[in-house]
Amino acid sequence: MSNTTSNIAIVILAAGASKRMGTPKQLLKWGEESLLGHAISKALKVEASEVIVVLGANYESIEKEIKQLPLTILKNKNWEEGLGKSIACAAKYVLESKPKINALLIMLADQPLIDKSFLKSIIQKFNQNQNQIIANAYENGKNGVPVLFDSCYFDELCNISYDNGAKHLLEEYKSFVIPLQFQHQNLDIDSKADYEFLYDLKFGSKVS
């Protein structure tokens, strides 16, 4: 049996400015929730040790919507430098204040089709002290988020400064990567058209 969830923290990256959307993507409607709210709901149901949300652009308006929830909110002051800085922000927080955490599960706020069961399956695969990286396997043969990193990678995660997140670590340590295939096509929301398409796909109706 894999390691329990008690020492795994889930990190939700939600610091981007959503310039192509014209409005904070994190707060777009997703059923009865927002996109970020939906991601948080899934993470909280996984029963990890801690749920961490990294914010940046539009911090005040987004923080106001989620501050009552049982999670940790971090402010990435360098959010304009890309996704990697948000990962580094969370990794530094864990290293400095959560020494018992032995893995980070990183997910995005704009992958609403990723479900609780898939997050749990990633965690169930994890075994401590085996240098594991457990990653979502994309149809193009690449691996990516959601992705879980063993604590042995925390120092390197702290030093990420690239806009493409931790992809270089997936390449550098590919012999330790365990790919998991999500049962549905994994789609990110990068544009208004993406959002409208996925909303209709999920709910069978146009977003109102």
CATH code, domain with 86: 3.90.550.10
Domain that holds residue 166: 5-203
Cβ-contact 8, 102 below 8 angstroms: yes
Two tokens, residue 204: 């069978």
- The answer to whether position 17 is within a domain reads yes
- Full pLDDT tens readout for the chain, 208 residues: 344 556 999 999 999 998 888 889 999 999 999 999 999 999 999 989 999 999 999 999 999 999 999 999 999 999 999 999 999 999 999 999 999 999 999 999 999 999 999 999 999 999 988 999 999 998 778 899 999 999 999 999 999 987 778 999 999 999 999 999 987 766 789 899 999 999 999 999 988 7
Of 72, 88, 63, 61, which Cα lies nearest the Cα of 162?
88
Of 90, 129, 82, which Cα lies nearest the Cα of 107?
90
CA–CA–CA angle 37, 39, 42 (5° rounding) = 110
- What's the number of domains the chain is made of? 1
pLDDT score of 187: 76
pLDDT score of 186: 62
- The answer to whether position 208 is within a domain reads no
Q: Are strands 143-150 and 133-137 parallel, antiparallel or unpaired?
A: antiparallel
Q: pTM (2 decimals)?
A: 0.95
- The answer to whether position 39 is within a domain reads yes
What are the φ/ψ torsions at residue 23 (nearest 5 degrees)?
Answer: -155, 155
